[in-house]
Amino acid sequence: MTVGLTKGNAISLIGSRFGNRSDLDTIIEDELNLAQTQALEGGDFLPWFLIREVKTTVLAGTTRVSMDALGASDLTTNGSFSSDSAWTKGTGWTISGGKAASDGSQVTTSDLEQDVSVTQNSYYTLRFTLSGVSAGSITPKIAATSGTTRTGNGHHEERIMAGAGTSPRLEFTASADFIGAIDNVSVWGEGDAKLLRVYEHGGVYWGASGATAPTAELLRGTYKYLWSKLNTESPATPTHYAIRGRDLILYPVPAADFELFSVGYHRETPFASLATGNSNAWLRHAADWFIAEASFRVAYHLKDNESLQKFQQEAAQAKGRVMMAHRANAHPTETINGGGAA
């Protein structure tokens, strides 16, 4: 079985199946890229050599968590407002006590803003909390692209495509009558990690706030069922999740901050050394599956019917082994970092 693939390993392995012809290197890489693109867009197999475990902090009261933010880095500075720094304050804005507050003294719209490193036409997940809102509204912007105008207290999260602003800037525009406070601001770039949501072994786990390892697994339910219950149950420790578009829907609504762990893939991180027993067996089988699928694509390109049938059968067998791997034995409970050898 194949273990610890990197992209270079994969190209070498597939090349050896076709006589190590140097003229095929570009074709093989193209087919691997197409296979990875299909995987990223929800195809029927995944680039398993990129798996790792990721986590994100979820605040109390949050019902939706964007999968795009899992494993990414916060791009803001001083989003907790622990000091009066890093933010440019318009009329009416002050920073104190871990919050930025607008007192309503502005006579027109007024911005709270800071520069952030974003790329035009790329998507970012924005999170923030409003409290003490008694009048007016606030509208977030990322590089001149406006998000949703908010008028109520609570945790807010949305996905915004960075625009073509003259400076890459995060802005909160208070209306002329806005009175309220903002805190817990963060901006997360997407693409570092995605949730494994297609197969049974794509686990989602929770741990106490600040935990470095998960405590319990969340069970997957249907969106329709969980959403119907969210407004009828009291906040508590989440026990279930559902997938809705790019979001995880949590149930019950969390009563306290917690860490959300998930198995995801990272674009460049290869497998670490893997166990040889049942533990992590599905990772090894899945690497076989990916190599067979990519080999099938190369054979199709070359119109090599004999190899085409061979690799199609090989891919089907590896896929079967992946699907049979038992979740309890297969899920990697440790963060996977570093490299491995094929």
Going by C-alpha positions, the residue among 309, 288, 294 that lies closest to residue 30 is 294
pLDDT for the residue 37: 52
Strands of 190-257, DSSP E: 193-195, 204-208, 216-217, 219-220, 240-244, 247-251
Tokens 């891919």 belong to 315
Going by C-alpha positions, the residue among 335, 62, 337 that lies closest to residue 186 is 62
Q: For 191-248, write each residue's pLDDT tens digit.
A: 444 444 333 334 678 889 888 877 888 887 777 777 777 667 788 988 888 877 667 8
Q: d(Cα 314, Cα 295) in Å, to the nearest integer?
A: 10
Q: d(Cα 143, Cα 255) in Å, to the nearest integer?
A: 34
107 C-beta neighbours (distance < 10 Å), count: 10
Q: For 12-65, write each residue's pLDDT tens digit.
A: 888 888 888 888 888 887 777 666 555 444 444 444 334 456 678 888 888 888
Give the mean pLDDT of 145-171.
88
- Say whether pTM exceeds 0.85: no
Q: Which amino acid is at 45?
A: F
- What pLDDT band is residue 177 in, cutting at 50, 70 and 90? very high
Report domain extents, the chain: 1-72+191-342, 88-189
- What pLDDT band is residue 175 in, cutting at 50, 70 and 90? very high
The correct answer on CATH 2.60.120.260 for the domain covering 88-189 is yes
Q: What SS3 class is residue 268?
A: coil
Q: d(Cα 213, Cα 7) in Å, to the nearest integer?
A: 29
